Amino acid sequence: MQRKGRGAVSNATGRFERREYVGYVPIEERDRVETIVSPDSTRSILAKNDSPDVPFSVSINPYRGCEHGCIYCFARPTHAYLGLSPGLDFETKIFSKPKAPELLRQELAKPKYRPEPIALGSNTDPYQPAEREHRITRGVLEVLAEHEHPVGIVTKSHMVLRDLDLIAPMAEKGLAHVFLSITTLDPELASRMEPRASTPKKRLSAISELSAAGVPCGVLASPMIPALNDSELERILEASAAAGARSAGYILLRLPLELKELFPEWLEAHYPDKATHVLSLMRQAHGGELYRSQFGERMRGTGPYAAILEKRFRVAARKLGLDEPLPPLDTTRFLRRGQLGLFG
């Protein structure tokens, strides 16, 4: 069932359990599904990563689940760990981490803590709609600014400009940069793929305002979906460069675990005439499968289609001056506070 403002078409049970609905209408049969935000009782806030194809090793995600509802989101399968569906549950049952700033402050105060850039929003968007009320991302940035700790932000939301008063001074010290994810310039396609994210126009505006304030900005043209938005790659990079972006990246659509069912289902609902072609090209880029998770392959794919896409990106990025990384973030300014407040 298609629903305005929602990405997933269904709410299939996650891979770890089987549930039976008794006494009420299952969520996938309701015309309207409200968003519920509940507090998460996590006792740790820094997530560690050692994947060789991911450019950071420490991240913070203020929320679990994401109301933006991006149908392609590789984080959807994580909701199965909560006994929930990676489908509609992922975008309607959100878990906030209200203690995130406090937990972060405790981590930064530990004598053995060694600073390295923290990725904010590596899994779910730190500026999804719940942030307007809960302001957890804001609290995390306040702690990082207080400790002069470097941070890299990734978002699809114009709301990042709300925190420009924190981000701009940090950027001036080499402590912050921001990447905006722009998947398409077509507002209709965006409204179907990522229904509650900021419009493409607003994301470009965010790049412009951040850049004007001295914040190094980049664009992620991700994911690129064969025969759906891949023809826009060069236009996305051109528009972003014109807005002030200084670096760019891209990722080929990833379909791990439940996404192998959720995304084709969405395609059939919204673009039935393109579904077969899209999925055929995905299989060509993954050795005959919809997805292969091997490091070095999962982000780019293999084969002729993947090679052409990569070449197109490299040529366009070089032409537009987006082929270099943003300036490295400074870890030398870090101020350890909390335990020795007399000296902090």
Tell me the two tokens of residue 165. Answer: 């008063």
pLDDT the model gives residue 25: 39
Per the CB < 8 A criterion, the answer to whether 140 and 118 are in contact is no
Per the CB < 8 A criterion, the answer to whether 181 and 156 are in contact is yes
Per the CB < 8 A criterion, the answer to whether 303 and 284 are in contact is yes
Picking from 247, 256, 236, 248, the residue whose alpha carbon sits closest to that of residue 297 is 256
Picking from 287, 290, 230, 268, the residue whose alpha carbon sits closest to that of residue 74 is 290
E strands, the chain, are 36-39, 47-48, 58-60, 63-64, 93-96, 118-120, 151-155, 176-181, 217-224, 247-252
Helix axis angle, 233-243 to 200-212, nearest 10°? 30
Residue 166 amino acid letter: L
pLDDT the model gives residue 19: 53
pLDDT the model gives residue 56: 81
Q: Which residue has the tokens 């084709």?
A: 264
pLDDT the model gives residue 2: 79
- The low-confidence residues of the chain, meaning pLDDT below 50, are 20-25, 339-344
Q: Could you give all domains of the chain from N- to C-terminal order, each with its CATH number?
A: 27-327 (3.20.20.70)
In this structure, what DSSP letter does residue 77 have? G
Q: How far is CA 207 from CA 76, 161, 286, in A?
A: 26, 9, 33
Q: What is the CA radius of gyration of the chain?
A: 20
Per the CB < 8 A criterion, the answer to whether 307 and 313 are in contact is no
For residue 181, the cross-strand partners are 220
Tell me the two tokens of residue 266. Answer: 């969405």
pLDDT the model gives residue 95: 98
pLDDT the model gives residue 21: 41
Taking the model in full, what pTM does it have?
A: 0.92
- Read off φ and ψ for residue 136, nearest 5 degrees: -75, -40
